[in-house]
Structure 1
């Protein structure tokens, strides 16, 4: 039996303009980052100051630097400050993760970070895709109070990791939302929804932005038409 509710679409963006493009094209939620080329880091304080101008809920990436997810005390202090900024500027939630040197979730550090979130929603980011035991990590995420796990099923793309994603959704049993992400397009979204049972998808829907000078190399922009196409595909499904 279905509820008739349509799956939700989260779009990751790296600028206010891209967030507005995604929202106007039908995105249900925004993941707001900077520097998507390196997997996303925390957006600037100036960027966060405009969160309330975005007409859909926004989750803010809390990641102080690119690279691994093993953090020290100074990193944690910055992350706590950024969580407070996101909360105070109207974020609906935050996106974060932290690992121990052996690749497991750093549960103590994550509990410390979440203690300052003040009721914000929380997504465990793709640090999850590097943990040695994803099923144990899923239970840990639930215990910590996360409400979502962003994952490609421990594969380069969600399509390749679909079997694992389906297994995670089964184990989650509605206690936490499993949010498939990486490589999701209008062409593969239907199959992914059908084979995994996912209720939400995460995508970038990006296009290359022609470089005007050397500094613009690698800049991408949200393509509203791709967002609309993806939403149209998802509209054919009911949860």
Structure 2
């Protein structure tokens, strides 16, 4: 049985994930942009109905992960607001203009989130250098990296994912996601030795998590 985080882009998906055995929810908005900061009221209402961990995305827009000063200020503001709702953690990732991990800005947000844990999201897959990026993310104080191994999806990235799990050596959780489905989770888990997996569980090209897919992911 795998530990599963479901990326939920709407409240309906979050309830489906909660009701069908997900271990954790990554709550975001903006499906077409790959996830942005969710609405405060939506998060508040969900928090009252769901008692599994809810990690909230802090991402002011789609596109790249290099943010202006005003966007960075927005991220700080959003984090403080959402932290007041007793969420369980945050998901974000900031790169500098050279596509390196922006140590200073990430550290500031990690410290603002404290004592809540933070996940560095798939901005990691755009960062240059596998080992160097891993060490920088650990140095910033993140607890988890969501990654497809710096490749477009987990199947292409499985060699790198295996390497990341080995290099991390328990210092940070490698959360495997990006094209992960119930059809490939067993193979990816066996190959990488990762312990936590991430999927939207959307199977029809729509925007809602599929209950059967969540159960299948969980039980593989």
TM over 0.5: yes
Instruction: Measure, in 2, the Cα distance between the counterparts of 1:99 and 1:24.
Output: 35
Superimposed CA distance per residue, residues 18-54 of structure 1 (whole angstroms, 9 cap, x where no aligned partner): 1010111110000000012211000011112122321
Check whether the contact 1:147–1:177 (CA below 8 A) recurs between aligned residues.
yes
Candidates 72, 88, 91, aligned match of 2:87:
91
Equivalent positions of 1:1-239 (< 5 A) are 6-50=1-45, 51-208=47-204, 219-233=206-220
Q: Secondary structure at 1:85's aligned position in 2?
A: helix
In the alignment, the residues of structure 1 paired with residue 195 and residue 82 of structure 2 have an alpha-carbon distance, to the nearest angstrom, of 26
**TM-score calculated relative to the size of structure 2:** 0.96
Displacement of 1:208 in angstroms is 3.8
- Residues 62 and 96 of structure 1 are in contact (CA less than 8 Å); yes or no, is this contact kept in structure 2? yes
Tell me the CA shift for residue 7 of structure 1: 3.2
| Aligned-partner Cα distance in 2 for 1:93–1:207 | 26
Single out whichever of 110-119 and 98-107 deviates more from structure 2: 110-119
**Is contact 2:176-2:197 (8 Å) kept?**
yes
Give the 3-state SS of the residue equivalent to 2:208 in structure 1. Answer: strand
Contact 1:21 1:223 (C-alpha < 8 Å) held by counterparts: yes
1:60/1:91 contact within 8 Å kept: yes
Q: Tell me, yes or no, if the aligned pair for 2:2 and 2:217 is still in contact at 8 Å.
A: no
User: Within 1, Cα distance between the matches of 2:108 and 2:51?
Assistant: 30
Tell me, yes or no, if the aligned pair for 1:186 and 1:230 is still in contact at 8 Å: yes
Q: Is the 8 A contact 1:62 1:95 kept in 2?
A: yes
Q: State TM-score, norm by structure 1.
A: 0.89
Secondary structure in 2 matching 1:220? coil
The question of whether the paired residues in 2 share the 8 Å contact of 1:52 and 1:89 is answered with: no
Question: How large is the Cα RMSD of the aligned pairs?
Answer: 1.2
1:38-87 Cα deviation digits (max 9, x unpaired): 11000011112122321210100000011111111111111111111221
Provide the secondary structure at the position in 1 that maps to 2:113: coil
CA contact (8 A) 1:48 1:85 kept: no
